[in-house]
Every structure is written in C-alpha cells, then in structure tokens.
Structure 1
Amino acid sequence: MVNYRYLGNSGFKVSEITYGNWVTHASQVENDAAIATVHAALDAGITTFDTADTYANTAAEEVLAEALKGQRREGLEIFTKVYFPIGPMGPNDHGLSRKHILDGIHGSLRRLNLDYVDLYQAHRYDYETPLEETMQAFADIVRQGKALYIGVSEWTAEQLREGHALARQLGFQLVSNQPQYSMLHRVIEGKVVPASEELGISQIVWSPMAQGVLSGKYLPGQPVPEGSRATDEKSGATFIQRFMKDDVLTAVQRLKPLAEQAGLTMPQLAIAWVLQNPNVAAALVGASRPEQLADTVKASGVTLEPDLLAAIDDALAGVVNDDPAGTYEVSPQTRLV
C-alpha cells in the first residue's frame, strides 16, 4: 500500500503517490477507462487526487467526480486549482483576481459534487493582480469552509515568501507548491526547496517521470512508439519535446542497469527518486491504463542508497536542468485573455 506524508507544516496527510488527471480524463482516454483507472488507484491505496478546472476545460473535474462517486468523502484528499482560462475565456475567466477565484471555487465544487476541497491551489502566479487581493480571496474561501488548505503551483522562492507572509497575516496556512520535478528537471532545488523548508511548505511534484521519458521507452535515433505521449497532442506532446533529444535519451538508457540492480522498474526508480527529497510530500502520477498504477505504486516506501543516487547523477551528467532561473520562466507575465 501507499505511504502517507504530512503536507507542509500542517497535520494534514496525503498519499505520497497522488493520482493526477491532467492529460488523461476527458482527453487522452475515454471516460470508462478513466473511471477504471481511478478505481485501480483506490485499490492500490491512493486516496489523494489532484485535478484542475482547466483540465479538458473543466471536464476532467466532472470525470473525477463520477469516478469517486460513492466513496467515503472523509477518506479522500481532493485537490483542484484555479488560474488558467476556462469556459468561453472572457476577460475575467483567467488569473487570480477575487472574482475569478470565487467563481472558480464555486464552479469546481459544483463539478466535483463536493461541499469542500481539501487543497485549493493557485495554478500559477498572477502578475496582473495584487497579491493581497489573491490571498484575501483564499482566506475567505478557507473561512467559508470551501477549502481546508491553500497551495500554489510553480511559484518562485520570492513569491512563496510573500504569499506565506500574507497568509499568516490573514490567518491561514500556505502549505504546498506544485512544481515540475524529476531526475532530469531539478530547477527547484537551488532556491524553491530551501525557501519552502524554511517556511513549512511541501512540494507536490508533477511529471516525476519527465513526461514518460524516464520510463526508458524512447530510444535515441529511433521513431517514437505509436500511441505514446510524444505522438499525441492532447496528452502533453509539446511538454515532452524538451526531453526528446538524443543526448538526453542516451543518458536515460544508462539508468536501466541501475534500476535492475536496485530491483526496480524504470518508472519505479523515477518516482522513488523524487520521493527521496524530504521536502517532497507527493509525486503526481497519471495513468491511461489501470495496470500502470500497479507498477508505479511500488515506488512508495522505497529507499535509494547514497551510492545509487550518486550513480544516477553520473549517468545523467550533462543533461540535467538544475538552473534556478528556470523557476522564473513558468508563470506568464501577462494573462492569456
């Protein structure tokens, strides 16, 4: 079964392998398959589920609600997010203004068929809205009982510090950040993680398998497998391109004997690696087929020895992105609408 970790400096526990439905529900797979995969996650011991209003333009939340119908609400931890354009994408259908945040939580609760979400997250930083306005709206949502905890996604160290200070003034906790993090993409390690450790904020990391590249199925100089994420525009093909370089793919192949020596599959090694970071509370995983989860959940509770971690670094030398400047390039400087 899956282990649990505390989220930030709180008493709230989440499954350290968390199910995310970014590119699967209402997009990559049919609803029946998505529902079967959620049930497989539950059977494997995953109780924490992450979604967002923007996924499949709100449809992913509805699919998740259908999949979780009949489950004991108190035994689930359900996360969603607000920021990106949804619906007809009007001038206030985007960002972190008070209007969009309040419209967002009401819409998400309606689609998820919930009275509250456990964690409500700012999907990006909004440079066009005063941070005080954003944090006040989150404070009101917490006081109204519509969200129990507040988190963010892809905020810089400085933004986390400012947001954390305002949250404390307003009487609630900022408990989490949701950044991209994997063996190949380590930009949070230089500034974001140290600031988060100081502030009592955990990371909920997405793409721990680097969009599937760390599975080892993409081979240098070879055509990509049919039906893989790299071929499907609906399932994140644009995100994976940054890793689809021969030097990266060659380095990833050097991980295969290391995984075998550790008695792990490549996906298990990738997920176990991010969970070695004590500031990581959860690794977000997705699946298009139920059987994929049976493999990945076995990464829970795995300890990678120092010699293995050093060998991984040696294998990937020269292809890892660990420049902290990358954390400043994620949130758009202006809204998209």
Structure 2
Amino acid sequence: MEFRYLGNSGFKISEITFGNWLTHGSQVENDTATACVRAALDAGISTFDTADVYANTAAETVLGNALNGERRESLEILTKVFGPTGPKGHNDLGLSRKHITESINGSLRRLQTDYVDLYQAHRYDFETPLEETMQAFADIVRQGKALYIGVSEWTAEQIRNGHTLAKDLGFQLISNQPQYSMLWRVIESEVVPASEELGLSQIVWSPMAQGVLSGKYQPGKPAPEGSRATDTKGGAQMIKRWMSNEVLTGVQKLKPIAEEAGLTMAQLSIAWVLQNQNVASAIIGASRPEQVAANVAASGVKLDQEIMDKIDTAIGSLAERDPARTKDSSPATREA
C-alpha cells in the first residue's frame, strides 16, 4: 500500500480507501461487513470512509464495531454530514449549525472515537448560509472533534467560496470527494484545477462506475445474480445509468488493455483514477473479503501514456464530461 498527502496538509491517507456505502448496515450481514474491514486492514488500508446517512446511521455503527480494538492513531476515519438521518425531520438534514453539531456528536458515538480525521460536507446546502456552515466546521475543529474538513461533490465555485471563508476562520479545506471514473470525468475541467490551485485533493468514489468497469456486466445478457445491478435496496438504481448495451459494449474494449497492463479490469479502473495527481485516494467497497485484496493491487501501479491513450480511445464519447453535472448532485432544497 502506498500513501499520499491529502491536499496542502501534512496528513497522509492510503491510496485505497475502504468505504461502506450501499453495503454495511444494508446489503451485507454485519459479520461479512466486519470480515471486509479486517481484509482491508490486512491489505494495508488505513483509511476508512463512511457517512451518517448510509443505512440511516447503521453503517457508522458497523464500522465502529469492526474497528474497535485497533490502534486509533494508525487509522484515518472519515465521515460526512448532510443527508437526512433519524426520523428525517425538518432539522435532521443539511448543513445548518444545529444539524452539523448534532451530527458530529452522533457520528463520534457510533464510530466509538473521540475525533474523526476528516469531516466532510456530503453535499452543498443551498438553503443554509455558507458562513453558518463554515463557522460550525471551524468550531468542531477547535473542539478537537475533527482534525480536518473536506467537502463532497462541490463545484469549483463552491469550493472557492468555502476555501475563502475557511481561511478567514483559521482552518483549511483539504479535500473534495467526487464521483470519478473513466466513464464520469466531470471534475477534470473545473474542479481539479481549482483544487490544485487552492490546495485540495480528491478522494474519489465509484472508480469502477458501480462495478460496470469490472467487466462483469455483458451487453445483451442479464446481470449476474447477487450483483449490484440486481440489488433492490438501492444498488440497481445507482448503477442503471451505465447498463445500456452501448456502454457495456464500450467497456468490453478495455479487457485487452487490462491484459496488456497485467491487471484485471477492476484494477485497471482503480489504477486509472490514481494516475491523476490531484487524486489522493480511490474509495472501494466490498461485499466479500476477497474483493478487497484483489482491488488493493491497483495501489502503486503506474500506467504508461500508451495505455492511457488506448483507454481514452476505447471509452471515447461514452464518458460524461459536463462540469455542470457536479452542481446537479446537490439538491436544490433541503426538504426531507
């Protein structure tokens, strides 16, 4: 496992982050989830990402239990705030001072820790003044409940505004957590340049495009039983944008490229996002422990320009590049 600095800070995280979105507390049993966390630790992963909204707080509880007994100083625990939790009442979501303050306390309790290494604004809140949000984050840092602050799926303009306020309040934004893969490249034209300028890194989610880039979904054939595309608890909804025959046919063109590089298609997709120097880490999930060890092999892989060019040719116009799609990811209203 290799490690990279997160933004303009002295804080390092593992190139591969273990995330428990869509799995822990919902898709897989707790014993299996714990086994996946153990496999991540055994593979050298030290960074774990979750959020209070995952499985309505259950994912944080599962992760806290799985990491119980580990040396806290050897771990980087990341969580997020924004989405509706609990009974999902009128103040149970967003980035108000009230919700942030209550959420960090709940997250610490469920994660069984006194602090999180990185606390992230899961989306941008259009209904709360940014000054209120950033002041709440500043207070949490001063209280020692979070060591660093990041954002997730913020536009370049939102990152710039947040960075300015954070600097005025005596702390810094050091990361953004966007979707990024061969098929989803919307951060490249605006978010990445702004982040490089301001000292933020990307911690990217869905580097395998919900598993589509693993090559297991074949055009014109039913999805494998037990795969994300057959999951009725949320997985199928998330992956459906990639399930057209056009996309699946294009993805199959990556198979000989992966073989040339000596990688599986899944490893190739993870290694690809890590070639972007503004990416500090790629988040992987797992429903089986053996998936973790296989995907960790992407850490440290260097893809030459010829391989990168072949990937671009294979994917071509299938990749989404419109930077406006980032703004679309945050809800316009905070209605639960």
Normalised TM-score (structure 1): 0.99
Q: Which residue of the partner structure matches residue 319 of structure 1?
A: 318
Is residue 100 of structure 1 aligned with residue 99 of structure 2? yes
Q: CA deviation at 1:130?
A: 0.1
Q: Distance in 2 between matches of 1:327 and 1:67?
A: 33
Q: Distance in 2 between matches of 1:318 and 1:166?
A: 38
Matches within 5 A, 1:262-281: 262-281=261-280
Matches within 5 A, 1:29-178: 29-178=28-177
Q: Distance in 2 between matches of 1:42 and 1:133?
A: 37
Q: Which residue of the partner structure matches residue 215 of structure 1?
A: 214
Q: CA deviation at 1:113?
A: 0.9
Q: CA deviation at 1:323?
A: 1.2
Q: Distance in 2 between matches of 1:86 and 1:257?
A: 44
Q: Distance in 1 between matches of 2:53 and 2:239?
A: 19
> Does the Cα contact within 8 Å between 1:83 and 1:122 map onto a contact in 2?
yes
Q: Which residue of the partner structure matches residue 201 of structure 1?
A: 200
Q: CA deviation at 1:235?
A: 4.7
Please give the secondary structure, in 1, of the residue aligned with 2:168. Answer: helix
The one-letter amino acid paired with 2:68 is K
Please give the secondary structure, in 2, of the residue aligned with 1:80. Answer: strand
Please give the secondary structure, in 1, of the residue aligned with 2:118. Answer: strand
> Does the Cα contact within 8 Å between 1:183 and 1:320 map onto a contact in 2?
yes
The one-letter amino acid paired with 2:182 is M
Query: What 5-or-longer segments of structure 2 have no aligned partner?
Result: none
Question: Which contiguous aligned blocks of 4+ residues in structure 1 show a shift greater than 4 angstroms?
Answer: none
Please give the secondary structure, in 2, of the residue aligned with 1:111. Answer: helix
> Does the Cα contact within 8 Å between 2:220 and 2:245 map onto a contact in 1?
yes
The one-letter amino acid paired with 1:110 is R
The one-letter amino acid paired with 1:330 is S
Q: CA deviation at 1:336?
A: 2.8
Q: Which residue of the partner structure matches residue 241 of structure 1?
A: 240
The one-letter amino acid paired with 1:155 is W
Q: CA deviation at 1:233?
A: 2.3
Please give the secondary structure, in 2, of the residue aligned with 1:26. Answer: coil
Query: What 5-or-longer segments of structure 1 have no aligned partner?
Result: none
Q: Distance in 2 between matches of 1:276 and 1:161?
A: 24
> Does the Cα contact within 8 Å between 1:27 and 1:235 map onto a contact in 2?
no
Normalised TM-score (structure 2): 0.99
Matches within 5 A, 1:256-295: 256-295=255-294
The one-letter amino acid paired with 2:82 is Y
Q: CA deviation at 1:237?
A: 1.4
Is residue 6 of structure 1 aligned with residue 5 of structure 2? yes
Please give the secondary structure, in 2, of the residue aligned with 1:94. Answer: coil
Please give the secondary structure, in 2, of the residue aligned with 1:101. Answer: helix
Deviations 1:121-178 (A, max 9, x none): 0000000000000000000000000000000000000000000000000000100000
Q: Distance in 2 between matches of 1:268 and 1:51?
A: 22
> Does the Cα contact within 8 Å between 1:83 and 1:96 map onto a contact in 2?
yes
The one-letter amino acid paired with 2:33 is A
Is residue 179 of structure 1 aligned with residue 163 of structure 2? no
Q: Distance in 1 between matches of 2:286 and 2:51?
A: 16
Q: Which residue of the partner structure matches residue 20 of structure 1?
A: 19
Instruction: Tell me how large the CA RMSD over aligned residues is.
Output: 0.6
Is residue 333 of structure 1 aligned with residue 332 of structure 2? yes
Counting matched residue pairs gives: 336
The one-letter amino acid paired with 1:59 is A
Q: CA deviation at 1:77?
A: 0.1
The answer to which of 96-105 and 324-333 deviates more is 324-333
Q: Distance in 2 between matches of 1:252 and 1:52?
A: 30
> Does the Cα contact within 8 Å between 2:90 and 2:335 map onto a contact in 1?
no
Deviations 1:230-282 (A, max 9, x none): 01022521111111111110000000000001100011000000000000000
Please give the secondary structure, in 2, of the residue aligned with 1:189. Answer: coil
